[in-house]
Amino acid sequence: MSFSTDTKNELARVMAQKLCCQTAELAALAKMDGLVQISGRHRISLHLITESAAVARKVITYLKNLYGVQTDILIKKKNKLKKNNVYLVRMPTQDDVVKVLRSLGMLDDNGRLVDGIKPDLLKRECCRRAYLRGIFLGGGSVSDPEGDYHLEILVSDEDFSHLLCDILKRYDLAAGINRRKNWDVVYLKGSEDIIKLLNLMGAHGALLNFENVRIYKDVRNQVNRLVNCETANLNKTVNAAVRQVEDIRLIDKAIGLAKLPLNLRTIAEYRLTYPDISLKELGEMMEPRIGKSGVNHRMRRIQRIAEKIRGDM
């Protein structure tokens, strides 16, 4: 299973203890997965549709705890792509439907459908967390942390996507909105933001897995950077040493090393004897020792002599 599926399965098993939190989470699930139908004689029905058996059980439990209503559940198998089961939870009694919709802020006293979020549902911190959990269960997904860090929630209502962004920004989460076909996508990109939201929703197991993968990636990337840096430095040292040896041999062939000043002759002989070591190591072998900058200065003088010889040739 994917990381996103594992996260949803964990959140589906998190049951809110307070009735206010159950109401908030149920309202979020109804907003994301609910289908409200109005038929003749103003009969109204509410169907909650999900592909998760655990989410369906949670909806049935909340409806019974909060309103004492009886529910029916239908199970269908999808025919296209992944042939998963689809669970449809519905209430057969009209009075129960109206009672639930009004409690969740989806129906006003005049029987008209209401968009947005009922303010009373989000007054408490615990209720806001439960609401976010319901929203993610209804339309969220999170990418595997082995790849790019990305969490998104698909929303069909443009106004609601902005309301959801405002809720996330109350927790200092850098939420953004993209348009994808007929959907608004509320997304988080930063790993810290995703970890914070997983914690807010109560997905602590997914959070630990995410952190473990992230730490492993960070260490691996750091090691790769260090190895690349060391490799680049080694290549630079080797290439410089090869050029220095070529210059010294050219000078030896053209005029002889004995014609060089003593300090240049000494460093040239050491370089020919030890062609693979760095300038710092070369300086430490000298008597008396000289620093890397001193060795580099002498090598540049040798280079200028070799360039003059090449020019004369």
| pLDDT confidence bin for 24, thresholds 50/70/90 | very high
- Tell me the CATH class for 3-202: alpha beta
pLDDT at 82: 64
pLDDT at 62: 92
Q: Please state the domain extents for the chain.
A: 3-202, 227-312
| pLDDT confidence bin for 40, thresholds 50/70/90 | low
| pLDDT confidence bin for 21, thresholds 50/70/90 | very high
Average pLDDT of the residues in 237-255: 85
pLDDT at 250: 87
pLDDT at 200: 92
| pLDDT confidence bin for 280, thresholds 50/70/90 | confident
- The 3-state secondary structure of the chain reads CCHHHHHHHHHHCCCCCCHHHHHHHHHHHHHHHEEEEECHHHCEEEEEEECCHHHHHHHHHHHHHHHCCCCEEEEEECCCCCCCEEEEEECCCHHHHHHHHHHCCCECCCCCECCCCCHHHHCCHHHHHHHHHHHHHHHEEECCCCCCCCEEEEECCHHHHHHHHHHHHCCCCCCEEEEECCEEEEEECCHHHHHHHHHHHCCHHHHHHHHHHHHHHHHHHHHHHHHHHHHHHHHHHHHHHHHHHHHHHHHHHHCCHHHCCHHHHHHHHHHHHCCCCCHHHHHHHCCCCCCHHHHHHHHHHHHHHHHHHHHHC
